[in-house]
Chains A and B, each alone.
Chain A
């Protein structure tokens, strides 16, 4: 009972965070009539999944009336290769930087860190030019490239700092065992960094999935991610706003990140702890 105030505080905090979500959920389950005539906070009198079905498969976005499902698939087509590229490249770069073979390696790392503090909006235009010159503008490859580049600084930082904590003797033992740069990375360093991989995966997935500006800028027609579609749907100026469909669509768009967090939650915590305590 002495902990009652603690639980009370936590419950209030949780409620504050969850309340908008609850309103969204309840609204998405109401028919449009009920929304127009009732209170925003009232629970649905006659719950229905009609708005969800419409949001998923029937809503009209940019002229096609097949709902979010198309865009949902687009998002996966962007996230999966971008995730793979940024993790693979970041892990390898982090490993190379963690070896600190020369003094300028640390300066290189410092230069890379600057990338972490510059918001993508600042470098958006040069990036557009770069991608255009590569002949990738408006293609899936161009978008994946942009995501990889923007994620690289962060993922590299994560892996480098973890690899620095790996005892140097392990690298020496691998050298004596005849493992070269890549073999040591593949057989020794990468398996050790699984918890860090989980952290990078969750954060990068969230970041890329939730991205709007890069998707809007770089994706070609028909390849735009679900976030762009959501904006089109909710920002539509024609006819009556279907709040229930908008809410359902937003929930659907947010579902994958929630699932990724829940599924990798334990690994995620272990990975954050891995930086502090060596296991």
Chain B
């Protein structure tokens, strides 16, 4: 059964001289909720429009199910799309909006009514069927837009930043509704967002895009734990990962010694080519720091730094401290602590981190070690 499977082979798209998508290969299994995520301008929306058929690729091919749909009209691809702006027809009622595609397809009226009623029930829109879009709230409009998709019974649902126009509270609520809908329908969904929280919470798999290329594909936690490169490491996770410049001291078959901020770290090496003297980047997530005097003293699996508190953000449930290090010339370090912790700006703070939670990237930005995969030893 290949119904609902989506395959992209070497898909490229240029607008004039500008290459927006530079060759994307991707396979989405039936029933997956795949999230395209990336900074604005990375091509994620363009890639979605290529799948929808609203744009045609300048190279490569697209398969939906067992069909090559590269040049097939959007209405005949077996897709349905939810737009950021909802794109409801303002002069039609909710029921007419949802049934418009079926009406154009020439389905008999009673069948349309039946399908619309069923979709409305799933989305709890039944009491609103006779309303016009302007009489609905933002969340209701978005539900109608989703209903318009359900009615078409597509192989693939496409969502183009569907929650960006909603306020924060409603966004959280709609996110849960979409997750629930995916569980209920079991349909393949492709979801575009720039919000990594949406990506992390909704996705079966995340596709991280940057400058028209795929940076990494994987399950949310996999991307969080094992980012393949600096870009993904910096993009997934909030607040973003701290990066520190280090220098390779010595390289052995299965480990690398890195000089960093006065300490020497022995980190596992994975696949990249690292020689002594090479510049590397060490990445540590804010939530992986441990705070307090002598937290990791005597632990050869950890490393400690002295720092000065530069700024404190107290969020109640957690506290973010921005730290300066005397020997760290570039920027500040962000440390995330759970709970509300009173810290005084300008005072010293000793933070430690387990070596297993340090990420190492070579000069090209590729991951060198896989933290957590092997024990790292501090020299």
Contacts and interface: CB of A to CB of B under 8 A. Distances in A.
Interface of A: 167, 169-170, 172-179, 183, 187-188, 191-192, 279
Contacts of A183: 104
B104 A178 contact: yes
Contact of B101 (A170, A172, A176, A192): A176
Given A177-B148, A178-B73, A179-B104, 18 more contacts: A169-B85, A170-B87, A172-B54, A172-B81, A173-B83, A173-B89, A175-B73, A176-B54, A176-B74, A176-B79, A176-B80, A177-B75, A177-B152, A178-B75, A178-B76, A183-B104, A187-B89, A187-B104
A192 B91 contact: yes
Nearest to A166: B90
Nearest to A178: B75
B46 interface: no
A177 B100 contact: yes
B80 A188 contact: no
Nearest to B81: A176
B342 interface: no
A175 B76 CA distance: 10
In which size bucket is the chain B interface? 20 to 34
18 contacts: A169-B83, A169-B87, A170-B87, A170-B89, A172-B81, A173-B81, A173-B87, A176-B74, A176-B81, A177-B101, A177-B104, A178-B104, A179-B104, A187-B100, A188-B89, A191-B91, A192-B90, A192-B91
Nearest to A170: B87
B281 interface: no
Nearest to B158: A176
A104 to B, nearest CB: 16
A216 to B, nearest CB: 42
B105 interface: yes
B52 interface: yes
A198 to B, nearest CB: 15
B85 A167 contact: yes
B84 to A, nearest CB: 8
A175 B54 contact: yes
Contacts of B88: 173
Given A169-B83, A183-B104, A176 B91 contact: no
Contact of A175 (B75, B86, B134, B148): B75
B158 to A, nearest CB: 9
Contacts of A169: 83-87
B310 to A, nearest CB: 44
A273 to B, nearest CB: 16
Contacts of B81: 172-173, 176
A177 to B, nearest CB: 4
A174 B148 CA distance: 11
A172 B105 contact: no
Contacts of B74: 175-176
Contacts of A172: 54, 81, 83, 87
A187 B103 CA distance: 11
A172 B80 CA distance: 11
Nearest to A191: B91
Contacts of B79: 176
Most buried by B among A174, A175, A177, A192: A177
Contacts of A187: 89, 100, 104
Contacts of B54: 172, 175-176
Contacts of A192: 90-91
Interface string B91-113: 10000000011001100000000
Contacts of B84: 169
A123 B75 CA distance: 46
A192 B52 CA distance: 25
Nearest to B106: A178
The 7 A-B residue pairs whose C-beta atoms are closest, nearest first, are A178-B75, A177-B101, A169-B87, A173-B87, A191-B91, A178-B104, A169-B83
B145 to A, nearest CB: 8
B50 to A, nearest CB: 13
B89 A176 contact: no
A120 B233 CA distance: 69
A261 B80 CA distance: 45
A179 B104 CA distance: 6
B202 to A, nearest CB: 22
Nearest to A180: B104
A57 B101 CA distance: 56
Nearest to B101: A177
A277 to B, nearest CB: 13
A97 B293 CA distance: 71
B101 A178 contact: yes
A167 B75 contact: no
